[in-house]
Amino acid sequence: MTTPTPSLSAPISTITLSPQEGEERGDITIDRDVANLSITIRNSLSFEDESEQNQAIPIFNVTGPVLKKIIEWCEHHRGDPAVYDDGSKDAGDGNGTAMWAKSKGADVLGWDKKYMDGMDRETLFDVIMAANYLDIKALLDIGCKTVANMIKGKSPGEIRTMFGIENDFSAEDIEQIRKENEWAEDR
């Protein structure tokens, strides 16, 4: 008996992801249009041929819980128009960093704000790194904005405390920095 060939006209509507990091390695199945928000996943889908289409895609560098958190965001944003696909239109940014394709303003609002507020700081960093790896620009964007808002308006000491950073400047360094920063302090 021959194996029935899969119908060429019916698109595969779900994708299965297999996290390769951490302890929770259970496969996660999501709709294709949700998965497409990740450029990384979208690219790996396009390399498959039909016989591989039902297999799980291994996801490195991201643990199961973090992946689930990312998917939660993607499921909410599945219908969003693609804003970031064409990258920065600014002339002269030919040095490769795609980060300048950013929306103006550092406000995170509505559902996104609740989403961000709902996670602890460590998860936030995990989500940022995962969004970077999975190339989900909009999520990376709001993640970075959220951290920026944490830093905004804080003194150096407060920033050190918040992130557990040690002050490795000498006394001479500090004097030098004070002079260099004069222009910024007057406002």
Partner 1 sequence: MEKRPGFYDLPNELIQSILSYLTPESLGGSIRSVDKRLQSIADTPLLWRFHCRTQYRFWDPTHDIKKAFAKPVDATKWKDLFVSRRKLDKFVEEKIDEIIQSSQNRILNIEDVVRGGASTGLGPRKASHTYDVKDKLLELCRTPEDVDDYLARRYWAKACLERLHRAYAIEQWRVLRHQTVPLERALGAFDMFIQADGPGDHNDISDEIDLLAKALLSEYPSFADMSTRKQALTLTQFLNARGFTGVESENDYHNLQNNFLSRALQDPNHPALPLVCVVIYCCIATRVGLCARPCGFPMHVYGIVTPPEGRDLDDKPENPSEPPERMYVDAFRSTIDIPAASLQSELRRVGVSRDFEHVYLGPASTLEITIRMSKNIMESIRIVQDNASHAPLNTDGSRVPAWVTVSPDMDSAFYSTLWSRCILHEHSSSGNAQRRRHIPFLKEHFQQHAPWDVALMETHMLSRFHGFHEFEHLRIILQNVRDADAAERTPIKRDDEAKEKVKYNVGQVFRHRRYMYEGVIVGWDKACDAGETWIHQMGVDGLVKGRGQSFYHVLVDDKTSRYVAEENIGITDAEPSDALMSLAGRFFKRYDGVERRFVSNIKEDYPDD
User: Which residues are near partner 1 by CB under 8 A?
Assistant: 22-23, 63, 90-92, 94-95, 97, 99-100, 102, 106, 122, 125-126, 128-129, 132, 140, 144-145, 147-149, 151-156, 159-160, 163-169, 174, 177, 180-181, 183-187
| Residue 41: how many other CB atoms lie within 10 Å | 22
Cβ closest to partner 1, residue 30 vs residue 128: 128
Q: What DSSP designation does 88 have?
A: -
Shortest distance (Å) from residue 175 CB to partner 1: 12
Asked whether the beta carbons of 131 and 143 are under 8 A apart, the reply is yes
Cα–Cα distance list, 108 to 31, 32, 40, 122, 158 (Å): 26, 26, 24, 19, 22
CA 79 to chain centre: 18
Encoding tokens for residue 110? 């509505």
Asked whether the beta carbons of 88 and 101 are under 8 A apart, the reply is yes
Cβ closest to partner 1, residue 3 vs residue 152: 152
Shortest distance (Å) from residue 182 CB to partner 1: 9
Cβ closest to partner 1, residue 100 vs residue 111: 100
Shortest distance (Å) from residue 77 CB to partner 1: 19
Cβ closest to partner 1, residue 49 vs residue 122: 122
Please tell me the distance from the alpha carbon of residue 38 to that of residue 136, in angstroms, as a whole number: 5
Shortest distance (Å) from residue 17 CB to partner 1: 19
Give, for 96, the enclosing helix (H) or strand (E).
none
Cβ closest to partner 1, residue 79 vs residue 94: 94
Shortest distance (Å) from residue 76 CB to partner 1: 22
